[in-house]
Amino acid sequence: MANDGGNEPVNTGRRRFLTATTAVVGAVGAGFAAVPFIKSWNPSARAKLAGAPVMADISGLQEGQRMILEWRGQPIWIVKRSKAILDALPTLDGRLRDPESKVVDQQPAYVLQGDPEYRSLKPEISVLVGLCTHLGCSPEMVAEIRPEPYDADWKGGYFCPCHKSRFDMAGRVFQGVPAPLNLLVPPHHYQDDNTIVIGVDPEAGA
């Protein structure tokens, strides 16, 4: 599909963890609250751009909330998903471009070892890079299960207003939209039940 202005799609195979300009995070869907950027545990800006890991305390994260961090100049979304959202994910497979996440460089293999439709280490906690895989815009989280103007059977997910790409609440891209790939899942692990470390795989963090 042709791209506006001659821009190439985001080549996540080569540029997966290169520094990207952080886009403004979109509005959160009704009933969902965004948690402010975590600053106290983050390393310096120079260290973050160099790839230093960042940590997040998710002990206060409530169902339906999104926490936003910054790692390597990219927004990282940590979302606590509801049971209704998790139950809806398998029903979307037939509408998605890569429902089984077969493009291997879009996520670490370990996030597919449980239920691959969740793309997460823990079913209820999603960790994604919040940049559209079309041209790098930051999609909006529209997490309520209800009809939307762009999808009468919307089951919650992410909508990019720049060029109308859509992703489900696991970051899997819909068919027939400009974005060619699922949202990235960054390397991460749990230091303990309430602490996520972004930028380090579980084996390295063990």
Q: What's the rounded mean pLDDT across residues 33-54?
A: 57
Take residue 66 and report the two structure tokens written for it: 């999104």
Take residue 161 and report the two structure tokens written for it: 């207003």
Please state the pTM of the whole predicted model. 0.76
- Give per-residue pLDDT as tens, 118-163: 999 999 999 999 999 999 899 999 999 999 999 999 999 999 999 9
CATH number of 21-201: 2.102.10.10
Q: What's the rounded mean pLDDT across residues 105-124?
A: 95
Please state, in angstroms and rounded to a whole number, the distance separating the CA atoms of residues 204 and 206.
Answer: 6
* 46 membership: H or E segment, kind and range: helix 45-49
Question: Domain segments of the chain: what residues?
Answer: 21-201
- Comparison of pLDDT for 18 and 195, the residue scoring more: 195
